[in-house]
Structure 1
Amino acid sequence: MATILYARVSTSEQTLSHQQTQAEAAGFTFDHVLADHGVSGVAVKMKDRPEGRRLFDMLRPGDTLVVRWVDRLGRNYEDVTDTIREFMRRGVTIRTIINGMVFDGQAKDPMSAAVRDALVGFMAAMAQAQAEATKEAQKAGIAAAKAKGGEEGGVYRGRKPSFTADQVAAVRDLLGKGLGVAEVSRSTGLSRQTIYRIKDDPAGASKALEVWA
């Protein structure tokens, strides 16, 4: 029986080390640590993420899956509830670091199972609601910044790039040669989240540099 930490690192403000340190401080030790970097929990289902697919392949009856909170599994209600229920059917126990929640398939009577499933659904819905609220707040912030820029005769430029044109070229070259994201990150000094952003939207990366030039 194995204990596995799964982390989803979707922004530059989050890190795998932070999530792992928090888990270890809560008393967990791990046989395996899996992490998907730069992946949206709303748009990309667990099974469609590289390490998410690996997690589905690895988990066996009796294993324990540890996550910081259910939003690390995703921020899509249907996907999160489907994922947790699938793991419970396999005999896997899911434990959260925050709030110390435990989800498993041990409930034998219908009432206990109903309470457990309702809690799963509530937490999954909350994760999606938080994502939607954050997105709306970002839209409002961008709209306000654009309006202010217009009033002052400026142009809204978005977040300043954390990379240079030379680094973008190096990233594209190394990826084109078949190197993995982790290797490219080490070679260029850029975070893996940044590598994923350049990989997924090279035109956007070039446009950001052009705007901030």
Structure 2
Amino acid sequence: MATFLYAYVSTAEETIAHQRGEVLAAGYSFDRVICDYVDLGAQTTLHQRRQGRRLFDLLQWGDELLVRCLARLGRDEAEVTRTMLEFLKMGVTIRSVIDGASYRGGELTGMTIREAMTACGAMAQKQSDSRRLAQGTNLGLASNERKSRKPTCDRATFDIINTLLGRGIALTAVADAAKVDTLTVRRIRNNPARQVSLYGS
């Protein structure tokens, strides 16, 4: 049985050394590090990443996969969930370092696949949102107590969000592409007329 740490580097601050140190400080140990270097905002699945796809060949029944957060495993909630279930069915245990969550491979007893997907997906979405906030992509949501709300992004970003939403792209994928938080995208999607009034015609 071996433990693999999957590191994902997309910013200057996310160095391998920093992620290794963070994992060790949290009390975890590992036998091998697999790392991908991806441009910030790039939309790639784990299967499309040069090193990420190697995990499906390297990991065996009884092995453990450590990730800083579940969001490292895909572009959005649905994809992270599919990837996690793929590993779980391989008998691989997945551990999320920042919150201590653990999903034991091959032991879905008492939990249907749908229930497992819901649990994994909810955690993945939570961590994905937290990651975007930590990267400073929140462009300043106005206080809910104020009657008039200021725009939460510039006009160019607003237009990009509207275009992507019009194409039926998933909310979390739109947020990643526009480099804003999901709440901003949801607000624009739910009340476009109100948002247009903030920017003018």
Taking structure 2 as the reference length, the TM-score comes to: 0.61
* In structure 1, C-alpha distance between the alignment counterparts of 2:22 and 2:118, rounded to whole Å: 27
Greater alpha carbon shift after TM alignment, 120-129 vs 28-37: 120-129
Is the contact between residue 71 and residue 125 of structure 2 (CA under 8 Å) also seen in structure 1?
no
Name which one, 1 or 2, has greater alpha-carbon Rg.
1
Is the contact between residue 44 and residue 75 of structure 2 (CA under 8 Å) also seen in structure 1?
no
* In structure 1, C-alpha distance between the alignment counterparts of 2:27 and 2:132, rounded to whole Å: 32
**Higher RCO, Cα 8 Å, sep 6+:** 1
* In structure 2, C-alpha distance between the alignment counterparts of 1:39 and 1:59, rounded to whole Å: 25
* In structure 2, C-alpha distance between the alignment counterparts of 1:10 and 1:53, rounded to whole Å: 17
Q: Deviations over 1:7-26 (max 9, x none)?
A: 11111121111111111112
Is the contact between residue 67 and residue 97 of structure 1 (CA under 8 Å) also seen in structure 2?
yes
* In structure 1, C-alpha distance between the alignment counterparts of 2:103 and 2:15, rounded to whole Å: 25
Greater alpha carbon shift after TM alignment, 52-61 vs 40-49: 40-49
Residues 1:14 and 2:27 aligned together: no
Taking structure 1 as the reference length, the TM-score comes to: 0.58
Deviation at 1:42, TM superposition (A): 6.1
* In structure 2, C-alpha distance between the alignment counterparts of 1:110 and 1:80, rounded to whole Å: 18
Superposition pairs of residues 19-34 of structure 1, within 5 angstroms: 19-34=19-34
SS of the counterpart of 1:28? coil
* In structure 2, C-alpha distance between the alignment counterparts of 1:15 and 1:142, rounded to whole Å: 33
Deviation at 1:74, TM superposition (A): 2.9
Q: 1:137 is matched with which residue? A: 139
* In structure 2, C-alpha distance between the alignment counterparts of 1:68 and 1:142, rounded to whole Å: 34
* In structure 1, C-alpha distance between the alignment counterparts of 2:49 and 2:23, rounded to whole Å: 22
Q: Deviations over 1:61-106 (max 9, x none)?
A: 0000001111222342222111100000000000011111001231
Is the contact between residue 62 and residue 92 of structure 1 (CA under 8 Å) also seen in structure 2?
yes
Q: 1:38 is matched with which residue? A: 38
Q: What amino acid sits opposite 1:9 in the alignment?
A: V
Q: What amino acid sits opposite 1:106 in the alignment?
A: E
Aligned-CA RMSD value: 3.0
* In structure 2, C-alpha distance between the alignment counterparts of 1:40 and 1:123, rounded to whole Å: 22
Q: 1:180 is matched with which residue? A: none
Q: What amino acid sits opposite 1:30 in the alignment?
A: F
Superposition pairs of residues 191-206 of structure 1, within 5 angstroms: none
Q: Using a 3 Å threshold, how does the CA distance of structure 1 residues 96 and 128 change in structure 2: closer, same or farther? A: closer
Residues 1:64 and 2:87 aligned together: no
SS of the counterpart of 2:100? coil
Deviation at 1:141, TM superposition (A): 6.3
Q: Using a 3 Å threshold, how does the CA distance of structure 1 residues 128 and 97 change in structure 2: closer, same or farther? A: closer
Q: What amino acid sits opposite 2:95 in the alignment?
A: R
> How many residues are matched?
143
Q: Deviations over 1:32-84 (max 9, x none)?
A: 10111124576100000011111111010000000111122234222211110
Q: 2:109 is matched with which residue? A: 108
SS of the counterpart of 1:137? coil
* In structure 1, C-alpha distance between the alignment counterparts of 2:31 and 2:111, rounded to whole Å: 33
Q: 2:99 is matched with which residue? A: 99
